[in-house]
Amino acid sequence: MKNTNAIGLDAKKSKKLGESLNGLLANYAIFYQNTRGYHWNIKGEKFFELHLKFEELYNDLLLKIDEVAERILTLGYAPKHRYSDYKTMSKIKESTEVSDGLKAVEDILDSFKTIISLQRELLTLAADAGDEGTNALMSDYIRAQEKMVWMYSAFLNRK
């Protein structure tokens, strides 16, 4: 049992999960801040609709940031918290000021594509480690985010 962490998972596999979750955390943090920027800077015909949708999204992202950080702690590791780390670790890049609603929604869809891909990778790692907690968290996120992708795509009239 000395090769297991406090919740009974293999320590080496848990370390890999913690590292991957920190990568996801970095992507969520940049995605969150980008969405705040879209919310603040949106202009034009769809202002009222998108302003509210972006606020809903960044509030959801903030909850996920906290849940991912707490999962890292549960596995016995420390969540990264510095934006300098996030900027170097994240596949999602900081957006420039975006006031065009259609461009913001396109950026959001690109961010979801990245996030969902990372979460699918985590599903594989979690399954290998027998980590049902991380698996359940990622599955819940993916299911909800796939629906959001459908809705944002419908807004842009994409298939």
Instruction: Please give the pLDDT value at position 156.
Output: 94
pLDDT higher than threshold 90 for residue 2: no
Q: What is the pLDDT of residues 3-12, one digit of tens each?
A: 999 999 999 9
Mean pLDDT value across residues 84-93: 97
pLDDT higher than threshold 60 for residue 57: yes
Q: Is the pTM of this model over 0.85?
A: yes
Kindly list the domain boundaries of the chain, sorted by start residue. 11-155
Instruction: For residue 134, give every residue at least 6 positions away whose Cβ sits within 8 Å of its Cβ, in sequence order, or none.
Output: 17, 21, 71, 75, 122, 125, 126
Residue 159 CA to residue 148 CA, distance in Å, equals 13
CATH topology of domain 11-155: Ferritin (1.20.1260)
Q: Where are the alpha helices (DSSP H) in the chain?
A: 11-41, 47-74, 83-89, 101-129, 132-155
Residue 20 CA to residue 18 CA, distance in Å, equals 5
Q: What is the pLDDT of residues 9-42, one digit of tens each?
A: 999 999 999 999 999 999 999 999 999 999 999 9
Give me the chain's average pLDDT, please. 96
Residue 73 CA to residue 81 CA, distance in Å, equals 13
Residue 106 CA to residue 15 CA, distance in Å, equals 34
Instruction: Please give the pLDDT value at position 97.
Output: 80
From the list 1, 63, 77, the residue with the least C-alpha distance to 32 is 63
Instruction: Please give the pLDDT value at position 1.
Output: 55
